[in-house]
């Protein structure tokens, strides 16, 4: 039934009810319209229950509707402009470090790309085609001009340094290289199956404070048993927050893959766009046994955490001598002005997550939890070296470091308050790498929430 016809039925039906004076033909019309009204109402109910997130998030005092409006109309347009600037466009990363946790069993490879194992010669042609596609789509475009390479050496002299929260040493590794993020967008690569599952399963199993007696399926997209969700509810705030951050990051990455899906590859020209079927498979309440909504709420929670970190770190960037250096003074000035505009917007947001409630218990217990928190996160950073697809590894490392930088900021409130106005501080510094990761990671979350709105619209149009 078309939307126009459905609207006509509703209008006529409500007019009869509201204005009275029922005649026999009115009753006959109402009865004939009733099946259409019930059908359209059921579509609305299904859509709301599956995809229309509403209400207040757990562990904070912010509602989803406020985040949608704030992000889609204020933050998203600005952050997209910022990450297009040269300072935020290039990220230094080591994609050659071996996995420290299990042998690299990927023996299907082309230049700059390692993916899950190829099937044997006797395997089905479809499987081979998928493997070849994953190779091609997952490869890194490492094209850089000689001018860019020379500029990077100059940038290094204008960097600040501090111990990394994530424990990454990509910046100093001889195998590290600068990657142009615009040439390597995060999107569907064909990397999937047990190889990809093992990475996420390791993150959830080993790093989310879960006892081994609580079962979680190998496939992280499969619905979990009730005992796992029950266990999460009874975690202390700090551990519950950690799990939500990892789940939110996982959801965000899945939304990117669904929104930039390879829809067609005929004539050698790939067509990218939203894949509604794939989105439903990962987030539909019926297909995920009600877990889809929880996963999406965790995305919003992660957004709030990184939003809070940006508002907290604003004083660091507001100091006049802080320069986002690329060697082009006019470019650098515009970039910093745009960054400060974003930071001012984050400070104006009225419903921030209150990080003071974390690690606020007994001093020794709080210290132990904080260190455990940090070590778990470092471990997750190392697991990213086990991702078998170069593009997936690139964006996994970047977003993990971005989240780690956000957590470091939230844990450094006292040091940020005591920053000297006109000189660097030994108490708190950010490297160029951390700044690039922080803003690009937040840009990915902002994009996820914007894409979520787009998927809602597509799903509504299909009803």
The string of pLDDT tens digits covering residues 370-383 is: 788 788 888 888 89
What pLDDT does residue 146 have? 57
Nearest CA among 46, 61, 103 for reference residue 353? 61
Band of pLDDT at residue 267, cut at 50, 70 and 90: confident
CA dist., res. 262 & res. 240, Å (int)? 35
Residue 2 or 342, more confident: 342
Whether residue 337 is predicted with pLDDT greater than 80 in this model: the reply is: yes
CA dist., res. 5 & res. 163, Å (int)? 63
What pLDDT does residue 315 have? 95
79-122 per-position pLDDT tens digit? 999 999 999 999 999 988 888 888 765 433 333 333 222 233 33
Nearest CA among 46, 142, 59 for reference residue 94? 142
Residue 250 is assigned to a ligand binding site: yes
Distances (CA, A) of 361 to 236, 309, 355, 358, 372: 11, 22, 13, 8, 15
**How many residues are there in the chain?**
463
Band of pLDDT at residue 132, cut at 50, 70 and 90: low
Residue 200 is assigned to a ligand binding site: yes
Band of pLDDT at residue 46, cut at 50, 70 and 90: very low
Give the active site residues: 389, 392
Task: Report long-range pairs for 167-171 (Cβ below 8 Å, ≥24 apart).
Answer: 167/378, 167/381, 167/382, 168/381, 168/397, 168/401, 168/433, 169/94, 170/92, 170/93, 170/94, 170/397, 170/433, 171/92, 171/431, 171/433
CA dist., res. 163 & res. 441, Å (int)? 19
Band of pLDDT at residue 233, cut at 50, 70 and 90: low
What pLDDT does residue 118 have? 29
Residue 247 is assigned to a ligand binding site: yes
CA dist., res. 413 & res. 124, Å (int)? 57
**Quick one: average pLDDT of 315-342?**
95
What pLDDT does residue 119 have? 37
- CB-based contacts of 268, cutoff 8 Å, min separation 6: none
- CB-based contacts of 369, cutoff 8 Å, min separation 6: 236, 238, 239, 359
The lowest-confidence range among 59-73, 137-151, 446-460 is 137-151
The lowest-confidence range among 42-46, 57-61, 210-214, 339-343 is 42-46
**Quick one: average pLDDT of 165-174?**
65
388-416 per-position pLDDT tens digit? 888 999 999 999 999 999 998 988 888 89
CA dist., res. 51 & res. 459, Å (int)? 9
Residue 187 is assigned to a ligand binding site: yes
The lowest-confidence range among 84-88, 138-142, 184-188, 299-303 is 138-142
Whether residue 304 is predicted with pLDDT greater than 70 in this model: the reply is: yes
Whether residue 40 is predicted with pLDDT greater than 50 in this model: the reply is: no
Most confident of 42-51, 222-231, 247-256, 344-353: 247-256
- CB-based contacts of 42, cutoff 8 Å, min separation 6: none
What pLDDT does residue 154 have? 57
439-448 per-position pLDDT tens digit? 999 999 999 9
Whether residue 125 is predicted with pLDDT greater than 70 in this model: the reply is: no
Whether residue 38 is predicted with pLDDT greater than 60 in this model: the reply is: no
What pLDDT does residue 348 have? 95
Residue with tokens 């893959």, as numbered in its chain: 257
CA dist., res. 142 & res. 140, Å (int)? 6
Band of pLDDT at residue 8, cut at 50, 70 and 90: very low
CA dist., res. 314 & res. 318, Å (int)? 6
What pLDDT does residue 266 have? 81
* Four-residue CA torsion sign, 221, 264, 396, 246: negative
Q: What is the mean pLDDT of the chain?
A: 76
What pLDDT does residue 83 have? 97
The lowest-confidence range among 12-26, 91-105, 416-430 is 12-26
**Quick one: average pLDDT of 331-336?**
96
What pLDDT does residue 342 have? 98
- As given in the structure block, the two tokens for residue 178 are 């600068």
Count CA within 13 A, CB hemisphere, residue 450.
18
Band of pLDDT at residue 7, cut at 50, 70 and 90: very low
**C-alpha 393 chain-centroid distance:** 14
**Quick one: average pLDDT of 56-63?**
74
Share above pLDDT 90 across residues of the chain, in percent, rounded to a whole number: 37
What pLDDT does residue 36 have? 47
Share above pLDDT 70 across residues of the chain, in percent, rounded to a whole number: 65
Whether residue 333 is predicted with pLDDT greater than 60 in this model: the reply is: yes
What pLDDT does residue 174 have? 81
What pLDDT does residue 365 have? 76
What pLDDT does residue 176 have? 86
What pLDDT does residue 47 have? 41
**How many other C-beta atoms can be found within 10 angstroms of the C-beta atom of residue 221?**
19
- As given in the structure block, the two tokens for residue 255 are 């939304």
What pLDDT does residue 197 have? 86
């Amino acid at each position: 039934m078309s939307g126009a016809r459905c609207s006509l039925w509703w209008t006529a039906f409500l007019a009869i009810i509201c204005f009275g004076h029922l005649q026999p033909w009115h009753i006959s019309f109402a009865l004939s319209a009733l099946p259409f009204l019930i059908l359209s109402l059921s579509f609305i109910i299904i859509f709301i229950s599956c995809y229309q997130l509403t209400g207040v998030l757990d562990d904070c005092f912010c509602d989803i509707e406020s985040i949608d409006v704030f992000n889609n109309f204020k933050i998203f347009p600005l952050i997209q402009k910022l990450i297009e600037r040269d300072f935020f466009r290039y990220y230094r990363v080591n994609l050659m470090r071996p996995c420290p946790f299990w042998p690299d069993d990927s023996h299907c490879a082309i230049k700059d790309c390692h993916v899950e194992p190829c099937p044997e010669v006797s395997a089905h042609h479809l499987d081979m085609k998928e493997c070849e596609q994953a190779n091609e789509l997952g490869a890194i475009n490492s094209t850089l001009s000689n001018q860019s390479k020379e500029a990077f050496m100059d940038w290094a002299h204008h960097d600040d340094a501090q111990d990394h929260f994530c424990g990454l040493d990509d910046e100093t590794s001889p195998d590290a290289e600068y990657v142009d993020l615009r040439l390597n967008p995060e999107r569907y690569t064909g990397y999937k199956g047990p190889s990809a599952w093992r990475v996420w399963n390791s993150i959830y199993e080993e790093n989310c404070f879960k006892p081994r007696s609580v079962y979680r399926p190998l496939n992280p997209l499969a619905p979990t048993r009730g005992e796992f969700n029950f266990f999460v509810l009874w975690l202390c705030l700090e551990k519950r927050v950690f799990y939500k951050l990892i789940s939110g990051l996982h959801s965000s990455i899945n939304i990117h893959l669904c929104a930039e899906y390879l829809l067609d590859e005929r004539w050698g020209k790939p067509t990218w766009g939203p894949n509604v079927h794939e989105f439903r498979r990962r987030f539909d309440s019926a297909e995920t046994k009600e877990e889809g909504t929880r996963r999406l709420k965790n995305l919003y929670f992660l957004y709030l955490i990184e939003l809070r970190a940006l508002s907290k770190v604003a004083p660091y960037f507001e100091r006049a001598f802080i320069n986002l250096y690329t060697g082009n003074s006019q470019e650098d000035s515009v970039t910093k002005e745009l960054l400060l505009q974003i930071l001012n917007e984050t400070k104006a947001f009225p419903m921030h997550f209150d990080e003071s409630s974390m690690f606020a218990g007994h001093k020794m217990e709080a210290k132990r939890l904080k260190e455990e928190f940090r070590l778990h996160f470092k471990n997750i950073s190392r697991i990213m070296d086990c991702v078998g697809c170069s593009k997936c590894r690139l964006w996994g490392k970047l977003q993990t470091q971005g989240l780690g930088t956000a957590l470091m900021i939230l844990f450094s409130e006292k040091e940020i308050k005591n920053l000297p106005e006109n000189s660097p501080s030994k108490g708190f510094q950010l490297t160029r790498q951390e700044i690039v990761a922080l803003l690009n990671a937040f840009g990915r979350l902002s994009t996820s929430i914007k894409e979520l709105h787009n998927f809602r619209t597509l799903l509504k149009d299909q009803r």
